[in-house]
């Protein structure tokens, strides 16, 4: 289980790098999302849980083929990518816990 510090670092990195597309709660509704096709991933949808951590880590660093998700290897370190994975997992858990 990720520690609180890792999740906090991930949240900061997410705010700096991911919110424009994924939105503040990771719901794929950031300010640039409407102009992107396919739309950004919605981490609250439950779909994220079907992918292992290694996939998320790889996509953060290398981008996602056939989408608008760019590589972030030039913006975040490998360690920071793991913090982002931990935070994205937390977003997914919080969203599913808030659902009726």
Per-residue pLDDT of the chain (100 residues; tens, 9 = 90+): 779 999 999 999 999 999 999 999 999 999 999 999 999 999 999 889 999 999 999 999 999 999 999 999 999 999 999 999 999 999 987 655 555 5
Cα(27)–Cα(6) distance, rounded to whole angstroms? 21
Cα(49)–Cα(79) distance, rounded to whole angstroms? 21
Domain count, the chain: 1
Cα(4)–Cα(33) distance, rounded to whole angstroms? 29
Q: What is the pTM of this model?
A: 0.91
Entry field: residues in the chain: 100
Cα(18)–Cα(23) distance, rounded to whole angstroms? 7
Domain range for 64 is: 4-98
Match 């705010």 to its residue by tokens. Answer: 15
Return the CATH number at 19: 1.10.760.10
């Amino acid at each position: 289980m990720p520690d609180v510090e890792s999740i906090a670092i991930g949240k900061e990195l997410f705010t700096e790098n991911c919110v424009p597309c994924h939105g503040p709660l990771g719901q794929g509704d950031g300010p640039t999302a409407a102009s992107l096709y396919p739309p950004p991933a919605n981490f609250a949808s439950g779909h994220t849980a079907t992918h292992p951590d290694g996939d998320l880590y790889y996509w953060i660093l290398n981008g996602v083929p056939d989408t608008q998700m760019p590589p972030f290897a030039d913006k975040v370190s490998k360690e920071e990518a793991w913090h982002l994975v931990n935070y994205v997992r937390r977003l997914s858990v919080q969203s599913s816990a808030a659902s009726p």
